[in-house]
Structure 1
Amino acid sequence: MLQPRITQDHFKKLFWAIGLSASCAFLLSCKSGYNRLYEDSDPDENAPVCSGNPSNSRLSSSGVKVYDLISDLSCEKIEDYVLSGQSVGFGNEADGNDEYRNYETLVKQLASDTDKTVAIVSVDYEKTALFTSGELDEANEVLIEHHDKGGLVSISWTPQNPWVDTQSDKLSPIDDSDLAVLYGDDTANEAYVAFNDRLTLVIEKLKALKDKNIPVLFSPFPEMNTKTYWYGAHDDNTEVKFKALWKHVYQTVNAAEVDNVLWVYAPRSGTTSQRVSALWGYPANLDIISGISYSDEVNISDYDKYRDQDKPMGMTRLAPTTSDGTFDNSKYVTELTDRYPYIAYWIAEHDTDNSDDAGTDNIRRSIYRNQEANKLMNASDVASAETIVEKEWLKE
């Protein structure tokens, strides 16, 4: 029997077929959202297998680019960068005269000293006060300014207890409050009205940022896995009800076509006595796991549990327990890159001016008011707003 003669053309066709097959297998194995290749990228087989798709299929193109960037930094360790961040306070404090909580000092002055602008700026839309529409506009102006420099925007929403209108502590649990009221059908209930009025205002201000084409890392109900907050894991609340409340907020925001929002789950990490399980209240609709931890050693005790959820990872707050300004900022980069390589970003806490309180020390947890800020911001592994621009990570 004659054997077929194998020519050079046969070899070429065979090798072409093998190459095409391998390429197709590679493409099929990739997930949309983080299959881009970056110069000097070094994917790690042990990294989280991220979902690859934002929870909102209508997410704006600029929002998708932020999601892709955080996914790539978290899941593929692109060039081993971690995005730096700084909280600048609550509401219009970001644009106010309190130098312990404002953009001018904690970001601009830091940039003047170090020649680097933090990559992410964060504000909380509530927590300490029911800020007016005009006051939240002032907060948004700061966020717009930072975005225009090439930076990213983070907004937490720590809503005050809608059952409380007089007591000084408006965040703690109280008796006779039921989360189901807030997402129920009794629209005449005072707590329902109070909560959903605030949610309406939050949506209005998120929309204002959408109109400027500004994506937002949005973390509602931070530290929900603690007993500290009325919406959290205290004895009179259930995880099922919290998840339903998150779903109500998620659906209400999406129904208003606020398509510039990435949903961030921000549980408390660490050994605080008020904390319950690491993933209490873990919702169905989220994009990023970004915890909160206060530790002089930059510990993220629930890191492995976060990673197991196969989502991009960050830290909504990462700050020292020490508050006297002696913390070594360079620990952020050494610990995050060595021990927690899949954290894509961290946001440092702001400061607090307690000079009016007799016998109370000021709280200094910002990058600006602690040691080795220049060393941190100029470390090769730390990404600033300038890095985002120079690397063209978000370029259309």
Structure 2
Amino acid sequence: MKLNSFLSISIVLLGISCKSQQVKLSDIDATKETQTLFQNLNKLKEKGFMMGHQDALAYGVNWRYEEGRSDIKDVTGDYPAVYGCDLGGTETKSENDIDGVPFKKTKKWIKEIYDRGGVTTISWHMNNPFTGKNAWDTTPNSFASILPNGSKHELYKSWLDDAAKFFLSLKGSDGKAVPILYRPFHELTGNWFWWCKNNATPDQFKEGWKFTVDYLKSKGVHNLIYVYNTSMVKSREEFLEYYPGEAYADILSFDNYEYNDPTKDNSFVENNLKLFGVMDEIAKEQNKLIAFAETGYEAIPYDKFWTKTLLESIGNYKISYVLAWRNHGWQEQEKKMHYYAPYKGQVSEKDFIDFFNLKQTLFQKDVTKEKLYK
């Protein structure tokens, strides 16, 4: 074979190989910045995973609405790379979200996060449209009510209209729409929300998911990366039972929390590794990303939770991000502390600094260098 022919074939094969590694958004009309973010997140997973925190800029243990503050920043000197917030409250046209955070402040923070190269993820603890009660009301037939021909379908559409206005209002200093990792109907395989699997058949759920995505797109919303999110399941079949299909999801994820003493019970690590294995296999087949969308150990009583329990539960899987839940602080009604990331003086603070210093853990300064939107 002539050398130039060999080189030509090699280049073609290399091109095919590179192409096979490309991830593609489910929204073919996604904005340039949204597509760029998704491609860069795919590349970034080779370097490590982004650390996230819910309501990171809004409040922490013993403080609220202090400009530029975050418990993670207090501990490490840097912000998380991923910031979580919630749409709960838009459906009632409230000025504040489900945790009392003003949406005006949330919009301001999302702009700041985008400007400095961080990533925002949004969930929605949506009220039950069937009963008017909160997200945890699991009255039968609630999910069916939002489907086309359902008794609350028009109401649901009006809620999506408000959500669309919110998403479209998110702009960076450059005037561009801010890309969002949107996690609708989260923890769908649980039994505690009105949209969970105990309240919908697989076909109903898939129909509701597809309608939601298509409706938002019809309203001009093209800055969303859709995150499919289960609670803990233990098989490929369970994970995919309610899955709407690769044309309607971009990131595969699950939520799981540590409830037992990890020095005596290793099930958190073992279960996570098993599910990451399931998701990793599906992600490779479908060119998707995988993530640990919510996790934590309430009040973090184990001083090596980060470098031992959490890190071991991720193993060698190339996940996009992990997000610790919110640092609410003292819960008066339950008479206990409720937080999932360390703060200054907390027992796991030193371990979190060690976790922060690892090469594979990515925080704000790390992702700022990556220019994720360019």
Q: Would you say same fold, with TM above 0.5?
A: yes
Q: For 1:244 and 1:318, how far apart are their aligned partners in 2?
A: 28
Q: Is this contact kept in 2: 1:86–1:367, CA < 8 A?
A: no
Give the match for residue 362 of structure 2.
383
Work out the number of aligned pairs and report it: 344
1:342 aligns with 2:318: yes
Give the match for residue 44 of structure 1.
none
User: What does 1:214-293 correspond to in 2, within 5 Å?
Assistant: 214-234=178-198, 236-269=199-232, 277-284=238-245, 285-293=248-256
Task: Specify the SS of the correspondent of 2:240.
Answer: coil
Give the match for residue 99 of structure 2.
none
Task: Specify the SS of the correspondent of 1:122.
Answer: strand
User: What does 1:1-396 correspond to in 2, within 5 Å?
Assistant: 14-31=2-19, 34=21, 52-74=23-45, 78-79=46-47, 81-88=48-55, 95=58, 99=61, 104=66, 108-126=70-88, 130=92, 132-133=94-95, 135-165=102-132, 170-175=135-140, 177-185=141-149, 189=151, 191-209=152-170, 212-234=176-198, 236-269=199-232, 277-284=238-245, 285-295=248-258, 296=262, 299=269, 300=272, 301-310=274-283, 311-320=288-297, 323-324=300-301, 326=303, 328-331=305-308, 334-335=311-312, 339-357=315-333, 360-368=335-343, 370-371=348-349, 372-390=351-369, 392-394=370-372, 396=374
Compared CA separation, residues 163 and 102, structure 1 to 2 (3 A): farther
Q: For 1:362 and 1:199, how far apart are their aligned partners in 2?
A: 34
Give CA-to-partner distance per residue, 1:222-255, whole Å, 9 cap, x none.
Answer: 0001111111111x42111011000110001111
Task: Specify the SS of the correspondent of 2:210.
Answer: helix
Compared CA separation, residues 204 and 329, structure 1 to 2 (3 A): same
Q: For 2:242 and 2:209, how far apart are their aligned partners in 1?
A: 9
Letter in 1 for 2:121: S
Letter in 1 for 2:307: S
Task: Specify the SS of the correspondent of 1:83.
Answer: strand
Q: How big is the shift at 1:366?
A: 1.7
Q: For 1:327 and 1:133, how far apart are their aligned partners in 2?
A: 39
Give CA-to-partner distance per residue, 1:270-293, whole Å, 9 cap, x none.
Answer: 57xxxx933331112000102111
Compared CA separation, residues 395 and 55, structure 1 to 2 (3 A): closer
Please report the RMSD computed on the Cα atoms of aligned residues, expressed in angstroms.
Answer: 3.0
TM-score, length-normalised on structure 1?
A: 0.77
Q: For 1:171 and 1:100, how far apart are their aligned partners in 2?
A: 27
TM-score, length-normalised on structure 2?
A: 0.81
Q: How big is the shift at 1:103?
A: 7.1
Q: For 1:250 and 1:143, how far apart are their aligned partners in 2?
A: 22
Range that drifts further, 371-380 or 241-250:
371-380
Q: Is this contact kept in 2: 1:324–1:363, CA < 8 A?
A: no
Compared CA separation, residues 23 and 104, structure 1 to 2 (3 A): farther
Compared CA separation, residues 115 and 170, structure 1 to 2 (3 A): closer
Q: For 2:279 and 2:305, how far apart are their aligned partners in 1?
A: 26
Q: For 2:225 and 2:15, how far apart are their aligned partners in 1?
A: 26
Q: How big is the shift at 1:320?
A: 2.3
Q: Is this contact kept in 1: 2:143–2:194, CA < 8 A?
A: no
Q: How big is the shift at 1:86?
A: 0.7
Q: How big is the shift at 1:203?
A: 1.1
Q: For 1:254 and 1:184, how far apart are their aligned partners in 2?
A: 17
Q: Is this contact kept in 2: 1:99–1:105, CA < 8 A?
A: no
Q: For 2:143 and 2:290, how far apart are their aligned partners in 1?
A: 28
- Structure 1: 5+ residue runs without aligned partners? 1-10, 36-51
Q: How big is the shift at 1:19?
A: 1.3
Task: Specify the SS of the correspondent of 1:137.
Answer: helix
Task: Specify the SS of the correspondent of 1:20.
Answer: helix
Q: Is this contact kept in 2: 1:270–1:293, CA < 8 A?
A: no
Q: How big is the shift at 1:333?
A: 6.7
Give CA-to-partner distance per residue, 1:66-116, whole Å, 9 cap, x none.
Answer: 211222244xxx23x111111117xxxx64x67468675996342243122
Task: Specify the SS of the correspondent of 1:225.
Answer: coil
Compared CA separation, residues 355 and 229, structure 1 to 2 (3 A): closer
